[in-house]
Structure 1
Amino acid sequence: MSVVLDTSMTVKLGKLGIWRHHSQVDGDFAAKAEELGYSAIWLGGSPGGDLAVVDELLAATRSLVVATGIVNIWTDGPGGIAAAHHRITDRFDNRFLLGVGAGHREATAEYRKPFEALVDYLDGLAEHGVPAEETVLAALGPKVLALAAGRTAGAHPYLTTPAHTKEARSLVGDALLVPDQKVVLDTDSERARALARKGNDFYLGLTNYRANLKRLGFTDADLDDGGTDRLWDALVPHGDGDVVAAAVQAHLTAGADQVAVQVVGRDPWPALTAIAQRLA
């Protein structure tokens, strides 16, 4: 399918967002995030089905944008997701971004070539009337970043560094670029690194993340056996409020339009508050 698209955004984002598993967010969480100055919540954990959680969060807030980060194309077909999109946008105009992605090859026995599958999925969304400017793609490598810029509003990279953001900006041009950034608000390096590893070391065994980290200059030695301190300090910065805010600012300086802050640990609010106080 050959198409020429206007992917200029109708959804407006500020520079600070929050990335959070969809099961850990409700209306009260969204309202507090908005009050702190965050302009978007990115719902992780492959939310799917009717996306009812999106309605709940939008109804509880005034201007907050909700984005899926991301809907897995292997588990939810474009028709059903398009229907959910239309329901949400009919009620909440210009406050929803549909983020979709191919996940990773280890996720399902039916996984096929991700690029072709993404193209087919975007075609399916278009056939069901979902505007390109209201979608974004999970993207790490150059080919999918280019697809995101050409067929959607932009890209949502995950588990990356400011160096990747700088490179991605050069590839996507003026398209939307919203990386996630994990942080730990803790000045105890041993404790913070242990927390970072515990929640994220499984990514190091996944082909797409491993390949991207190697493109960023990390070696097999960095990635094996739970990952080196060098790796985790780059992927999940830790420290006081100034340090974690600086980690977010580094992505903005590198070219991100917004950073989706993911706080590692049980209580996200101290870190989210510290970042908002410094950057919002």
Structure 2
Amino acid sequence: MLTGTGIWSTALRYGDPGSVPDAAAELESLGYTAVWVPDFGGPVFDSLDALLRATSTITVATGVMNVWMQTAEAANTWWNALSSDHRSRVLLGLGVSHAPLIGEAWGRPLATMEAFLGALEVPREQRCLAALSPKMQQLARERTAGSLLYLVTPEHTATARENLGEGRFLAVAQNVVLDSDPKSARDVARQELAQVSKLPNYANNWKRAGFTDDDIASLSDPLVDAVFVCGDVDAIAERVAQHRAAGADHVCLQVAPGGELHPDVWKALRGV
């Protein structure tokens, strides 16, 4: 089961191909246990191959592979061609994305994920689901190794752990800004949240946590501080510890801005 701390980065998937291998190798040398990459379409398996070739021990994970933009058949073809060494380091995180991003192709999320899992040959222990809701967490518990959470509080982590039960993997993606000035740090966080806050999955989850429509529309300080951690290394380490105490097995840090590589920040945060 994956433990420790990882890095979630858009740049490791969509950044300069010449820089990605060195960045992945550096993260491995710094002691991070996983690299996580998103999927907004395109050849996701080529990106995973590049990360696997550049490293030797670190887990390479999707956070998350979009089941509307990829097929189980393509995943099976890729998986069956992998060496045993590379297979042992793969974790396929799967997600149903968001209706506004998918458009007319959108269908019933739970049924769509069930069908995808039914056709997928990647072993249960090497796949997990992005699952904010209890029903999707139940599916994660029954059909995969566990779940990945995004833009959540430690309190939500505790609820997810209860829903998943013991023996299931729970990872949390924690957004961070390494900046001790509250105003400038929150400004960066708001830029990162500007688009995702309009997606109903996240907005509805924040409302379940007690935030209001006004909090979400304005990206209020309490909301920003709840889903981001802004501050120095100690502040970030404290939030990571809170997620672990709430039941997370693994925490992956998404350093803002998320579309850039952050070697200096990665060095500073090693071991949190």
User: In 2, are the aligned partners of 1:67 and 1:99 still within 8 Å (CA)?
Assistant: yes
Q: Deviations over 1:133-188 (max 9, x none)?
A: 11111110100011111100110111111111111000101210001000000011
- Which residue does the alignment assign to 2:162? 170
Unaligned runs of 5+ in 1: 1-11
- Which residue does the alignment assign to 2:131? 139
- Which residue does the alignment assign to 2:212? 219
Q: Deviations over 1:43-86 (max 9, x none)?
A: 11436536112122112212101011111111111101221222
Greater mean deviation of Cα atoms: 68-77 or 25-34: 25-34
Greater mean deviation of Cα atoms: 248-257 or 87-96: 87-96
Determine if the alignment matches structure 1 residue 97 to structure 2 residue 87.
no
Determine if the alignment matches structure 1 residue 155 to structure 2 residue 147.
yes
Q: State the one-letter code of the partner of 2:242.
A: A
Unaligned runs of 5+ in 2: none
Q: State the one-letter code of the partner of 2:111.
A: E
Runs of at least 4 residues off by over 4 Å: none
Change in 2 beyond 3 A, CA 1:57/1:46: same
CA RMSD of aligned residues (A): 1.6
- Which residue does the alignment assign to 1:130? 122
For 1:255 and 1:231, how far apart are their aligned partners in 2? 22
- Which residue does the alignment assign to 1:255? 247
The partner residue of 2:232 within 230, 240, 251 is 240
- Which residue does the alignment assign to 1:229? 221
The partner residue of 2:183 within 164, 187, 190 is 190
The partner residue of 2:196 within 198, 203, 207 is 203
1:187 aligned counterpart, secondary structure? coil
For 1:149 and 1:53, how far apart are their aligned partners in 2? 28
Determine if the alignment matches structure 1 residue 19 to structure 2 residue 8.
yes
Q: TM-score normalized by structure 2?
A: 0.92
Higher relative contact order (CA 8 A, sep 6+): 2
User: In 2, are the aligned partners of 1:241 and 1:271 still within 8 Å (CA)?
Assistant: no
User: In 2, are the aligned partners of 1:82 and 1:130 still within 8 Å (CA)?
Assistant: yes
1:70 aligned counterpart, secondary structure? strand
User: In 1, are the aligned partners of 2:79 and 2:87 still within 8 Å (CA)?
Assistant: no
Q: TM-score normalized by structure 1?
A: 0.89
- Which residue does the alignment assign to 1:106? 100
- Which residue does the alignment assign to 1:29? 23
What is the aligned-residue identity percentage?
A: 37
For 1:271 and 1:236, how far apart are their aligned partners in 2? 16
For 1:235 and 1:155, how far apart are their aligned partners in 2? 18
Change in 2 beyond 3 A, CA 1:48/1:250: farther
User: In 2, are the aligned partners of 1:185 and 1:241 still within 8 Å (CA)?
Assistant: yes
2:180 aligned counterpart, secondary structure? coil
2:3 aligned counterpart, secondary structure? coil
